[in-house]
């Protein structure tokens, strides 16, 4: 009998104690009335017969929505949207009382769809798949923040993922990107050929200038003097040689090559 009483006592004690974890806040609802005091993380005691502990996460939450976004030209662009938000701890009792625990569907989803329709309708479908996407995300975030931040739901970011353009438009965008890449490739090739032509022109200019300098520096007297110096060196050789000259420029004949 004592054992049964002890077990009942322990069960009652355990059921009258709750733990509010990190990243959460708690509130007591007693006989249907919500206490406005916010319970910080830690253990909390309560009467399980008349009181309930309601917990609300205050860390950053990620809510994903799959939606068809309207574009300026009237097309529907399918996308998966991540909405990053958190709850203002001081506003937690007001949210539970006025919005309920399904505030994601009641408020966040509805406000997002309205803001997304308003913002996306000002952009072309292709913009959602280009650098303009960051602008669209920022404008949706700002519009949602104006609507629900005062209610204690703080929108941190709206991120567009897995964007699927209509088939015809997607192909047109791909063709445009391919054309841009081809144009960039052709521009690179033209620039390379232009640089090669400039290099050859500079090389030819250098050769021409070098030949001009050599031609201008070779006078008849220098040629005669260099010929005489060359034959002086040849004369030092022990081999027999025949030199014919007209008094201006000598000509050497190798006897060994004039044999029979």
Integer Rg of the chain from CA: 46
User: For the chain, what percent of residues have pLDDT higher than 90?
Assistant: 33
Read off the pLDDT of residues 186-214 as tens digits, 9 standing for 90 and up.
Answer: 888 888 888 888 888 888 888 777 767 66
Residue 2 scores a pLDDT above 60: no
Q: How far apart are CA 155 and CA 142, in angstroms?
A: 8
Which CA distances in Å does 237 have to 125, 224, 243?
A: 91, 21, 13
- Residue 207 has a pLDDT of 79
Residue 226 scores a pLDDT above 70: no
Indicate the domain borders of the chain: 15-57, 61-170, 220-258
- Residue 158 has a pLDDT of 94
CB-side neighbour CA atoms (13 Å) of 218: 10
Structure-model confidence comparison of residues 166 and 31, the more confident one: 31
SS3 73: coil
Question: What homologous superfamily is domain 61-170 in, according to CATH?
Answer: Band 7 domain (3.30.479.30)
Read off the pLDDT of residues 110-132 as tens digits, 9 standing for 90 and up.
Answer: 999 999 999 999 998 888 878 88
**Neighbour-count burial of 119, counting CB atoms closer than 10 A to its CB (0-12 exposed, 13-18 middle, 19+ buried):** buried
| Structure-token match 């052709």, residue found | 186
- Residue 85 has a pLDDT of 96
Which CA distances in Å does 93 have to 16, 29, 59, 63, 198?
A: 21, 10, 16, 21, 76
Residue 18: band (very low, low, confident or very high) from pLDDT cuts 50, 70, 90:
confident
Read off the pLDDT of residues 31-53 as tens digits, 9 standing for 90 and up.
Answer: 889 889 999 998 888 787 888 88
Residue 167 scores a pLDDT above 80: no
pTM: 0.59
Dihedral angle computed from the Cα positions of residues 116, 112, 169 and 186, in that order, rounded to the nearest 10 degrees: 80
């Amino acid at each position: 009998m004592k054992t049964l009483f002890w077990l009942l006592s322990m069960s009652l004690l355990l059921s009258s104690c709750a733990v509010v974890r990190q990243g959460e806040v708690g509130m007591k609802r007693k006989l249907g009335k919500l206490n406005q005091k916010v319970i910080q993380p830690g253990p909390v005691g309560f009467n399980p017969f008349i009181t309930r502990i309601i917990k609300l996460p205050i860390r950053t939450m990620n809510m994903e929505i799959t939606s068809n976004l309207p574009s300026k030209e009237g097309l529907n662009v399918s996308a998966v949207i991540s909405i990053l938000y958190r709850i203002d701890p001081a506003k937690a009792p007001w949210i539970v009382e006025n919005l309920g625990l399904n505030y994601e569907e009641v408020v966040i989803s509805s406000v997002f769809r309205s803001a997304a329709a308003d913002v996306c309708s000002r952009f072309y479908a292709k913009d959602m798949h280009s650098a303009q996407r960051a602008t669209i995300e920022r404008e949706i975030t700002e519009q949602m923040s104006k609507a629900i931040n005062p209610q204690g739901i703080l929108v941190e970011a709206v991120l567009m993922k897995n964007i699927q353009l209509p088939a015809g438009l997607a192909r047109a965008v791909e063709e445009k990107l391919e054309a841009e890449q081809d144009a960039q490739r052709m521009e690179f090739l033209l620039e390379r050929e232009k640089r090669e032509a400039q290099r050859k022109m500079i090389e030819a200019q250098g050769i021409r200038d070098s030949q001009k300098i050599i031609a201008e520096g070779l006078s008849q007297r220098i040629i005669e003097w260099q010929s005489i110096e060359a034959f002086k060196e040849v004369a030092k050789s022990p081999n027999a040689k025949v030199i014919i000259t007209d008094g201006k420029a000598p000509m050497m004949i190798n006897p060994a090559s004039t044999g029979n």
